[in-house]
Amino acid sequence: MVARVEEVYNVFSKKERWMSVIIVGIAGVFPALTFNFFLPAMGKIATDFSVSLEAIHLTITAYLIVQGVTPIITGPLADSLGRRSVYIYSFLLYVISSVVLSFSPNYPVLLVFRGLQAAGVASTVSIGCAVIQDLTPMCQRDSFYSFYQGIRNVTLVLAPVCGGLNSNWANFRCLFVILFGAALSTLAAILLFLPETLRSIAGNGTVPLTGIHQPWIWRCGIFGKPAHMHLDEMAVPRQRPKVDYNKFTEPFHLLRETDIILSLAFSSVIYAIWMMVTVSTTGLFQATFGLKEALIGLVFVPNALGTIAGSTLIGNLLTQDFLTACSIYQKTHSLPPTVVISRHSLPADFPLEHTRLIRLPGLVVIFTIALSFYGFTLSYPSLTTLGGWIAIPLLLQFLMSAMAHAICGVHQTLITDLWPSNGAAAATISNLVKCLLAGVGVAVVQKMLESVLIGPTFLALGLVVLVLVPLPIVQWYWGCGWRQVRDAKRSHSTAPHQSEKT
């Protein structure tokens, strides 16, 4: 009897895998870099084009809408055409858009090509995660994910600071020249060094790559020789997988589920309000404190730190809550310790909704209080002229950012748990709804500030949050029943297929 040799998950060396992860990590910073680099310069751009700040906000609306829609298309393409192909065409679009924006002769050009810029980088984060999954088994991904997230966090903090400094001493078009240079360098690195990693095309690294899937450096046979040593000489290049058109529509299937709609609605409104606070920062702080662009860039740092703190904190708490709930469930049902409860196949009576939503009340209370008082800290000259008063609204921004991202993290995790068959579809529809609502919010926030004034505007947004509080309450009490009905339907629909196979 011949012993079966277990196939290695990926044959690339650790050094080769790290080189690929560094490249996709750099590519993954572009959404945050492109968005935050632009924020401190909005006032200067409005002056240059002789348009209102509200008109400049519309360029961000265009950016957000395209950022929400694009992954619906590029996600399935990356799963069929390959990661490398989508990277190359995406960055080509981004480079071309940046070239046009570096001239920006008028406002319509700025509006259109900011949207095209978003299309170029909207999917780089999710595709980068997919590359890490292609290259490494689950037990080895932590260090790669830590680097991948870490470099994006650094970008969140540095991008507005650098954008403010650049806008203070140079024409705003220089922002796009810098982005063009960075994107062109990243595209060159992808073309030269990044191999295709999609396992249906590249396997575990032993399948020969041809055409667009092969890094240019491999063709010259100098620096690429070590990679060729992994190839199986008996293997032949695989045919490109066919595009599964069902994947383009699957994210929309989630909109038929009541509990998922509730999570999407609540988290997306919170995200939209946070985006309204963020985008309005430039105009408000320039008018209230008379800050130049260089200092406006620094004003965004507390917001960025809140984003990092909120996302990190809630991730750890959710993991802890789930493990605690699993332990209690095992004891309650007298299950042996060897039984592992998986997020992908939860028991029907597992208290998933309670486990995920238990932290939500405290987060919502802090977010609502900070939001309601935020506008009034910017409304009274007798206060804003006090030395150091600027720290008060910045502290509230930190709290709002941290709580908003924590709330969104809670609901995104819950949505993924409720739709375990395809986490990518859950992330895609969540991104779409959040970006669409945020785009609408950004488009109207300046008009609200001018018509209703600063304090009442943010107080009204706080009241909007209170009006939506019943949504998670309904999910708390009835969500488990809806989940059980959905799981029962799935089991009935898969049962005939299983019986046919047997």
The answer to the question of residue 241 being in a domain is no
The answer to the question of residue 496 being in a domain is no
Name the nearest CA neighbour of 179 among 109, 107, 108, 93: 93
Per-residue pLDDT at 408: 97
Name the nearest CA neighbour of 54 among 441, 457, 452: 441
User: How much is the mean pLDDT over the chain?
Assistant: 91
Chain segment 15-42, per-residue pLDDT in tens: 999 999 999 999 999 999 999 999 999 9
State whether 225 and 256 are in the same domain.
no
CATH number assigned to the domain comprising residue 302: 1.20.1250.20
Higher pLDDT, 222 or 58: 58
pLDDT band at 275, cuts 50/70/90? Answer: very high
Rounded average pLDDT over 192-217: 90
State whether 277 and 135 are in the same domain.
no
Rounded average pLDDT over 176-189: 97
State whether 455 and 482 are in the same domain.
yes
The answer to the question of residue 185 being in a domain is yes
Rounded average pLDDT over 60-88: 95
State whether 185 and 96 are in the same domain.
yes
Point out the domain boundary residue: 231, 258, 275.
231
Rounded average pLDDT over 473-488: 94
DSSP assignments along 273-288, one per residue: HHHHHHHTHHHHHHHH
The answer to the question of residue 21 being in a domain is yes
Point out the domain boundary residue: 198, 231, 264.
231
The answer to the question of residue 495 being in a domain is no
Task: Return the percentage of the chain with pLDDT > 70, whole number.
Answer: 93
- CB distance 432 to 72 below 8 Å: yes
Rounded average pLDDT over 328-357: 89
State whether 176 and 299 are in the same domain.
no
What's the CA dihedral at 200, 237, 28, 56 to 10 degrees?
A: -100
Query: Could you list the residue range(s) of the whole structural domain that residue 282 is in?
Result: 247-490
State whether 285 and 160 are in the same domain.
no
Which residue blocks in 170-257 are alpha helix, DSSP H?
173-193, 199-202, 216-220, 225-228, 246-253
The answer to the question of residue 239 being in a domain is no
Chain segment 103-115, per-residue pLDDT in tens: 999 999 999 999 9
The tally of domains found in the chain comes to: 2
Rounded average pLDDT over 184-209: 92
Q: Give me the count of residues in the chain.
A: 502
Q: Would the pLDDT of 265 be above 70?
A: yes
State whether 218 and 365 are in the same domain.
no
The answer to the question of residue 272 being in a domain is yes
Q: Alpha-carbon distance 81 to 78, whole Å? A: 6
Chain segment 42-51, per-residue pLDDT in tens: 999 999 999 9
Point out the domain boundary residue: 178, 205, 231.
231
